[in-house]
Structure 1
Amino acid sequence: MSIENSATSAGTAPLPPMHCLRQLEPGPPRLAALPTGTPVWLVSRHADVRQVLTDPRLGRATLFAPDAPPLKVTPNILDDPQGILNIDGTEHQRLRRTVQRAFTPRAIERWRPWVASAVESLIDELIDQGSPADIVAAYTRRLPVSVISRLMGLDNVDTKRLAHWSDHALSTTAYSAEAIANAMAEFAAFGAEVIAERRAAPGDDLVSSLLAAAAGDGSITEGQLVVLVIGLVVAGHETTMTSLGNALVYLLHDDREAWQRLASDEASAAAATEQLLRAVPLSDAKEHLPGLLRRTVEDVEIGGVVIPAGSVVAADAQAANQDPAVFAGDLGTELFSPLAAPMLTFGAGPHHCLGAWLARMEMELALHRLARRLPALRLAEPVERIDWRRGLATRSPNALRVLW
């Protein structure tokens, strides 16, 4: 769902320039302003960010209360009050229960053989296509779309249309409010159509499971179901696509030793995946203010600062993931080491990302199998010439030409 130190060690590639920006030096909470002018408390230290994300005195639903100040110039899918991200308490727990069984570590592990097979098939196609190639178009975009499509029974989905909806769903400055609203109306109609199809002919897929759970609960509205379905479609591929593309930019820059170790075994790939997810940012501070937004429902002391009730708080998980008091080493020296503390890339607390284990598994297998099959893989152009996706909540290459 962007912070990087640019320090390097001998033989280790620096992060690409777009990713060397530390969004906020960890320190006590401080006041700033959102693009709308609304005051916001920026929280950046690891312990403080974790408190913001887990403390019940800070929530998401109150961000959309009648008395809430304006948060976004052009709201996107993350700002839908019916979305699971923006509901708190027992209602949120009820919605979450409808999907969380499909995303437990044990449930995700059952998908490993199929995901590994999908990875190998895509690498076969990449090799057949020949060098040089665009690995985003051939691999980093196709893999997570294939996985979430299979999981949700969307095997015949129009991937270009899906990309169009997803880009609008996560737009910050790329599209107008009208364009976003139109795309989201189309996306919602697609979600409603999928729901109607599964009601008529249930299958062994996540949407059918959601409908069965919702029918048993009886209190989940149709609007919530639609938002849940299209939200899962976006979240189910966007973070993995972004993280995998950005990781390859970092790894393929010139660090051959790390690439060779990734090929050695899945355990090394799993360790590197954790560090890459922690350290390589998902977005860019130049595009939008960092932070997972919350609002206080009463006065709360965070990091020695009392933040008044009704305040908007931005928890900068990316800065927290770089807090030198917690993560002392740089990525070059720590790539295959265990994390010193839990990373906050997927959030924490009641809104912790449901798909975290799926994203981990996809990235681990994608890196390990690709390094094993293509040990000579390298970038075909300098990182300064990479064309980046801009104006979205996530930042990754539009295209990434590679050689082997």
Structure 2
Amino acid sequence: MDAASIGWVMISAALVWLMVPGLALFYGGFTNPKSMINTFAMVLIAIAVGAVVWFVVGYSLAFSGDGLIIGNLQHAFFNNVPMFKSTMGLKIPDGAFALFQGMFPMITMAIIAGGVVSRMNFKAFFVFLILWLLFVYVPLAHMVWGGGLIAQLGALDFAGGDVVHISSGVSALVLALMLGKRTHMEELQAHRPTAIVLGGGLLWFGWFGFNAGSALQANGQAVLAFVNTNIAAGAAMITWMLVDQLIEKKVKVSGLMSGGVAGLVAITPAAGYVNPGAAAIMGVVVSVLVYFGTTWVKSFFGYDDTLDAFGIHGIGGIVGGILTGVFATKANAGVKGGLEGNWSLVWNQTLGILITLVFVVVVTYVIAKLVNIFIPLRVEDEVEEKGLDSYQHGETVEAFHNEAIEAIWQKQFAERFR
């Protein structure tokens, strides 16, 4: 065991956890104020679902056994998961590995909310997440990181291009199509820029643990992943700014943060496998493609991906996965990429993405149909029209705002006349 590696992975786990509240703020800043509490709830509940289900059976099914699609129940309830030693040849104990991996389904499920907020029944979403974690995320984690089918094909995914971003983005799109458009579909707007900046900043900050922690030790690969993460996000943010200026003649803060997140998504599968120059190129390419994916493509097909969960994470994850095959180096990844003459890796990456797409679409659709039999997926039009916050949660952002203002006035009045 290596104390530095244990400390780094534990800190990284905490950073990934922090991304979920960060995403709640980021999404909340774009959401119609009448459904901001609903957005917070749909994102934050992923923390609880992820923690409990991962502990009960998720970790065991993802990281035990040698099946092509799924593991076994050998480590259910963290049974026989040592906290002081590694059975995997790592420099951290199995308990630290299980903890770190358990943070990923939380943020993955939270991303899905972005495609359906403001119109999906919270109760249905809660049940959907439990089933989705068991039948979509866990098998994908096993296929990619647990020695299953996609890993055996030779595809690379350093920190979750397939497992996290493509799976969540595509699932969000499937749900959005099944639910249909909002009664009053509106262009994505920054209702609360402060929340967008703070939430986006927390996402960027947490992503250092997300990517660099995936090295699973404190070593040079962790440093490389950290550096690449920052470079890709920065390059993507600048590129989005330039495109925005060229097309809209404006530079939007919401656009800057969206561009940064797109770069973070794209570098995720490649973070520890490519050189910094490649990370910068990936940030530029993904920013352009995601920009047009969230504007022109979305408008052309007319689907209602409320907060661009598919546009940023689905498209960004696909772009990042393919470019990983192009830019991976033998020195970093242990296998040559396309630019080093091994274009078969690009095919392996593409095949892994195609398997992910088919698997996610089919299973997500089946789960949603099953849930809808017992709990309606979509809220009534009247509830959507008036906002989900008061109807489904009994709280509103305006109420908190008014109470805060009243408290300030009362305090000032008391101090002035005491």
Greater helix fraction, Structure 1 or Structure 2: 2
TM-based fold match above 0.5: no
Output the TM-score relative to the length of structure 1.
0.27
Larger relative contact order, structure 1 or 2 (CA cutoff 8 Å, min sep 6)? 1
Output the TM-score relative to the length of structure 2.
0.26
